[in-house]
């Protein structure tokens, strides 16, 4: 719950956790890793920024329309929808794409692989944080927690993930840091304007951070928990 989230944030080297939403499978050499910057230290060694992303999340989006996983043919598909179902001839899995007015078996192996793992969640795991000169022992690791998968599935539908990312900060970002609408602030310590454990959403550059699901100091936080709010498209700290 909130303590677990705060611990994850405290464990982050750069004080934030990012969740990425892309319609491809996560690899160590494609987005978003490919955009993570590198630098060179005084010894001339290349320092990989990927160590700062330990704990970041990745959600696989459909490369087209909705993905159906059912034995019966979908009743009202739309163009570019997918249908994953068992073959009527053998035990193999068939992936079809709705094009025009009919289902056509998908032969593109890359697209097929993404469709098969649409809705899967991964966590960036960087185990050798003491060796920042090489991205060794680091990769996207599949998450099997269904609650996380369901939360990210709904979050992926929110408009404020259009930039492929949502970031959760543990402290107010420094001036000059790019903050996107939908990013969250969950302070791990009190400050003049923000209270530890409360959740703030970045609305826009004019409004700034707005607290969501406000609770006063008299509330027994044991009655609160993290729940997914579909209207806001995010996990929210709310009462029972």
Q: Is the pTM of this model over 0.75?
A: no
**Residue of 73, 99, 102 lying closest to 85 (CA atoms):** 73
Q: Are 127 and 139 in contact (CB under 8 A)?
A: no
pLDDT of the residue at 42: 82
- Measured CA to CA, the distance from residue 66 to residue 182 in angstroms comes to 24
Alpha carbon of residue 1 to chain centroid: 17
| Beta pairing class for 46-48 and 38-40 | antiparallel
Cα–Cα distance between 33 and 20 in angstroms, integer? 10
More confident residue, 91 or 82: 82
Mode of pairing for the β-strands spanning 82-86 and 57-60:
unpaired
Report the distance separating Cα 86 and Cα 95, nearest Å.
9
Q: Where are the domains of the chain?
A: 2-61+119-239, 67-110
Flag whether pLDDT at 5 surpasses 60: no
Helix (H) or strand (E) holding 5: helix 2-11
pLDDT (0 to 100) of residue 129: 57
Q: Which residue has the tokens 């990425």?
A: 20
Q: What is the pLDDT of residue 112?
A: 95
Q: Give the pLDDT confidence score for residue 80 in this predicted structure.
A: 96
* Nearest Cα to Cα of residue 83 among 59, 100, 63, 105: 105
Complete DSSP assignment for 113-127: HHHHTTT-EEEEEE-
pLDDT exceeds 80 at position 186: no
Which tokens hold the place of 187? Answer: 């302070």
Residue predicted with more confidence, 52 or 103? 103
In this prediction, residue 3 has a pLDDT band, given cuts at 50, 70 and 90, of: very low
pLDDT at 48 exceeding the cut of 80: no
Answer yes or no: is pLDDT of 233 > 50.
Answer: no
What pLDDT, on the 0 to 100 scale, is given for residue 215?
A: 41
What's the pLDDT at 52? 77
pLDDT at 135: 54
Burial degree of 185 (CB within 10 A; 0-12, 13-18, 19+)? buried
| pLDDT, tens digit, 9 for 90 and up, residues 133-182 | 555 567 898 988 776 676 677 667 665 555 677 787 878 888 888 888 87
Confidence (pLDDT) at 54 = 80
Distance between CA atoms of residues 82 and 104, nearest Å: 9
Q: Which residues are CB-contacts of 109 (< 8 A; sequence separation ≥ 6)? A: none
Average pLDDT over residues 221-237: 45
Tell me the β-bridge partners of 166: 19
Report how far residue 61's alpha carbon sits from residue 15's, in angstroms, rounded to the nearest whole number: 26
pLDDT confidence bin for 213, thresholds 50/70/90: low
Judged against a pLDDT cut of 50, whether residue 1 lies above it is answered with no
């Amino acid at each position: 719950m909130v303590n677990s989230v705060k611990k994850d944030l405290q464990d982050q080297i750069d004080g934030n956790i990012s969740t990425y939403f892309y319609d491809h499978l996560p690899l160590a050499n494609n987005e978003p890793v490919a955009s993570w910057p590198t630098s060179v230290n005084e010894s001339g060694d290349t320092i990989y920024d990927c160590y700062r992303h330990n704990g970041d999340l990745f959600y696989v989006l459909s490369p087209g329309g909705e993905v159906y996983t059912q034995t019966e043919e979908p009743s009202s598909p739309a163009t570019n929808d997918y249908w994953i179902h068992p073959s009527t001839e053998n035990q193999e899995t068939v992936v079809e794409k709705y094009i025009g007015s009919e289902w056509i078996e998908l032969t593109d192996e890359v697209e097929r692989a993404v469709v098969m793992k649409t809705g899967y969640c991964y966590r960036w795991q960087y185990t050798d944080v003491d060796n920042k000169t090489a991205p060794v022992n680091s990769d996207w690791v599949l998450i099997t927690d269904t609650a996380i998968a369901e939360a990210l599935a709904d979050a992926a539908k929110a408009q404020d993930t259009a930039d492929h990312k949502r970031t959760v900060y543990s402290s107010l970002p420094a001036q000059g840091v790019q903050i996107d609408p939908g990013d969250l602030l969950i302070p791990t310590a009190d400050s003049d304007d923000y209270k530890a454990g409360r959740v703030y959403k970045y609305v826009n550059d004019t409004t700034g951070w707005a607290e969501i699901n406000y609770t006063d100091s008299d509330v027994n936080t044991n009655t609160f928990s993290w729940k997914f709010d579909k209207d806001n498209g995010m996990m929210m700290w709310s009462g029972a």
